[in-house]
Chains A and B, each alone.
Chain A
Amino acid sequence: MTKLLAILIDGSIYASWVFLMGLGMTLIYGVMKILNIAHGSLYALGAYTSVSLIGFYYATGSYPPMLGYAMLPLAAIAVGLIAGLLIERGVLRFMYGRDEVVMLLVTYSIFLILEDTAKLIWGVNPYFAYQPYGLLGTVEILDLVYPVYDFLLIAISLCCAVFVWWGLNKTRVGKLLIAVIHDREMSMAFGINVKLFFTVTFVIGAAFGALGGAVTAPKVSVVPGLGVEVIVLAFAVVVIGGLGSIEGAMIGSVIVGIVRAATVHILPEVELFVIYGVMALVLAFRPLGLFAGPEVRKI
């Protein structure tokens, strides 16, 4: 019973973390048809930026400690705006209209560049920003002790999901964006500024990736190569759910989260294997993922 509860809670925490990654990635893919490998670097940049900001904030010591949490979204927005704009305006916009595979390779090279950029800025020593993690204390559920921060993570993730769903379905801009997703050329013909939508989407997607890193930073030591593993996890999540589908990313992250938590508690030897196993299994039966619509074959 306790084990089951532990699996559920651990699974939700893990799912909410990985969902933040998948959300940005699937958003960018849905709108721009770019499978963004550089998303992992954005995650790492977000983690580094938030660690620096948190360290800076608490080092001054004269401000209320609770306000330190504002550094997390601040870091995400900063990375999204700076790195996102640089990548989109600086590189990607010259490549629009190229094959999806070429775009994949382009983002792969951006990933390589960003990995070293992080090393150049922050060096190779680990960084810690434990303050926000410990500040909220712990909570006990049926003998299981969890840091409250982990539940904050779930809340943040749910907020992001609701925000994106609301933005897409209930606002004018969101509806225009859906039009762009469905038919780029037609929406261009109707006078939608598709290029602007691309830029904004990429910045928002990048900010989500960075947010994923920013909220994880207090839990771990931030070291180079942080984003390398995350990228394939995010791949797994969005591919399981169906590329470009927000609901899919949610379902995908819940599946990955629960499955991983279950194996960690029951059979820890297969922990890593099982995530990719699920991904391969889903792909084998539903090549486009669980939630992707049928694709029109163009000649």
Chain B
Amino acid sequence: MKIPKDNNLRTLTIGLIIVLIFGFIATDWFRFMAQMSLATFLVVLGVMLQMRAGLVSFGQGLYLCLGAYVAGMAGYFWGITDVFLLLLVGTAACILLSIVLGFLLVRYRGIFYANFSLALSMILYGLLVKAEILGSTDGFNVPHSTFLGFAPEGETLKIAIFVLTCVIIYIVSLVLHRYLNSTYGYAGDAIRQNEIRVEYLGASVRSVIHKIYVIAAAISGIGGVLTAIAVGHVDPDLAYWTTSGEFVFVALLSGTANVMAPLVGAFLLELLRTYAFEYAPYTWQMILGIAMLMVILFLPGGLWSIGSFRRTEN
């Protein structure tokens, strides 16, 4: 039997190099946009991971916000500015919280899972909005980052953060790709198709979902830290349910077949958002909505499945 060749490592590496080169020559705002879509991509990966197991999370903003706030607070209150430390603290906070919340969430499926995750992220939102020490609805500014004692300024700082974002995303995508092609990764797929059979095959559905939930939270937390560093500002809207809704939109639009799929979707969303403010300020949500309906109706596998249609025909 011929095992299909896995081209993802090659594609990802080429992609990394292209994006890095592009980052050095692109204009400031375009690089920022790419960076934002990369951070969004990480959160969408979290949503996608759960979607593969048939679970729609309408509250992934919880971990985006938590990661961003923990990183911001570490810089603001304790003076930690080293990005690697910030990443560590932010992700650790998300992992801890998700382990605890996971015990509750694994009991839910379908719309109840969506509802419960939404409620949890709204709890964080409600807390942050009233937390005056953290700037209430305005949020607060995150201090400039340093890299292992190296403290760049201005343009250098921006490029350094961009490179860091790209490299982290490269690593996360690779790890996640390996994970999705492992037994555990396929267990998620199996749960979506038929949970009871998975139980009869001897795997614990709850423990698989719990793991998926924690991994998704960790990835989204990284996305949150990167967002905080890139924007230099955090506010409670990160945990609002409409933010999470956008991630669901991207995951749905791109499809769940491949780790790279949401990258396209996240970039499209960011592009649309940037231009929409200028050209269609009152219709861009409508565009999102119509696109989403079209995808649900005609392209259940997302945009990524267009490519695989062609492949199966061959």
Interface: B301 (CB within 8 A): no
| From B125, B130, B286, contact of A271 by CB (8 A) | B130
Q: Which residues of A contact B122 (CB under 8 A)?
A: 232, 272, 276
Known: A104-B111, A228-B242. A280 touches B285 (CB 8 A): no
Give the interface residue-count category, chain A. Answer: 35 or more
| From B56, B107, B286, B290, contact of A104 by CB (8 A) | B56
Contact present for A273 and B292 (CB under 8 Å): no
- Contacts between chains A and B (CB distance < 8 A), count: 121
| From A105, A270, A279, contact of B130 by CB (8 A) | A270
Interchain nearest-CB distance for B88 vs A (Å): 28
Q: Which residues of A contact B130 (CB under 8 A)?
A: 268-273
Known: A101-B114, A105-B252, A283-B112. A113 touches B285 (CB 8 A): yes
Interchain nearest-CB distance for B234 vs A (Å): 18
Q: How far is the CA of A124 from the CA of B281 in the complex (A)?
A: 11
Interface: A110 (CB within 8 A): yes
Interface: A180 (CB within 8 A): no
| From A91, A272, A297, contact of B126 by CB (8 A) | A272
Q: Which residues of A contact B296 (CB under 8 A)?
A: 95, 102, 105-106, 109
Main secondary structure of the interface of A (DSSP, over half): helix
Contact present for B111 and A279 (CB under 8 Å): no
Contact present for B119 and A276 (CB under 8 Å): yes
Interface: A196 (CB within 8 A): no
Interface: B283 (CB within 8 A): yes
Contact present for A112 and B104 (CB under 8 Å): no
Interface: A117 (CB within 8 A): yes
Q: How far is the CA of A136 from the CA of B196 in the complex (A)?
A: 60
Q: How far is the CA of A91 from the CA of B293 in the complex (A)?
A: 9
Closest A residue by C-beta to B55: A101
Interface: B148 (CB within 8 A): no
CB-defined interface of A108-123 with B at 8 Å, one 1/0 digit per residue?
1111111111011000
| From B112, B119, B290, contact of A287 by CB (8 A) | B112
Q: How far is the CA of A270 from the CA of B290 in the complex (A)?
A: 37
CB-defined interface of A8-26 with B at 8 Å, one 1/0 digit per residue?
0000000000000000000
Q: How far is the CA of A120 from the CA of B285 in the complex (A)?
A: 12
Contact present for A236 and B119 (CB under 8 Å): yes
| From A101, A112, A299, contact of B56 by CB (8 A) | A101
Q: How far is the CA of A109 from the CA of B241 in the complex (A)?
A: 14
B104, B111, B292 — which one has the most chain A CB atoms within 10 A of its CB? B111
Known: A105-B56, A235-B118, A276-B123. A111 touches B289 (CB 8 A): yes
Contact present for A105 and B116 (CB under 8 Å): no
A106, A113, A228 — which one has the most chain B CB atoms within 10 A of its CB? A113
- CB neighbors of B among A33-64 (8 A): 35
Contact present for A299 and B115 (CB under 8 Å): no
Q: How far is the CA of A105 from the CA of B300 in the complex (A)?
A: 12
Q: Which residues of B contact A190 (CB under 8 A)?
A: none
Contact present for A280 and B120 (CB under 8 Å): yes
Q: Which residues of B contact A114 (CB under 8 A)?
A: 289
Contact present for B104 and A284 (CB under 8 Å): yes
Interface: B149 (CB within 8 A): no
Interface: A163 (CB within 8 A): no
Contact present for A239 and B285 (CB under 8 Å): no
Interface: A143 (CB within 8 A): no
Contact present for B119 and A283 (CB under 8 Å): yes
Closest B residue by C-beta to A231: B241
- CB neighbors of A among B91-126 (8 A): 104, 107-108, 110-112, 114-116, 118-120, 122-123, 125-126
Q: How far is the CA of A174 from the CA of B112 in the complex (A)?
A: 27
Q: Which residues of A contact B17 (CB under 8 A)?
A: none
Interface: B288 (CB within 8 A): yes
CB-defined interface of A273-288 with B at 8 Å, one 1/0 digit per residue?
1111101100110011
Task: Give 5 nearest A-B pairs by CB, closest first.
Answer: A272-B126, A112-B289, A273-B126, A113-B289, A116-B286
Beyond the given A101-B111, A104-B114, A287-B112, could you list 20 further A-B residue pairs with CB under 8 A, ordered by the A residue number?
A35-B111, A91-B293, A94-B297, A100-B110, A108-B245, A108-B248, A110-B289, A112-B289, A113-B286, A119-B282, A228-B242, A232-B118, A235-B118, A235-B119, A239-B119, A272-B125, A276-B119, A277-B123, A283-B104, A283-B119
- Identify the B interface with A (CB < 8 A): 54, 56, 104, 107-108, 110-112, 114-116, 118-120, 122-123, 125-127, 129-130, 196, 241-242, 245, 248-249, 252, 282-286, 288-290, 292-293, 296-297
Can you name 12 A-B residue pairings with CB atoms under 8 Å?
A: A91-B293, A101-B114, A104-B56, A106-B296, A111-B289, A113-B289, A119-B282, A124-B282, A236-B119, A271-B126, A283-B115, A283-B116
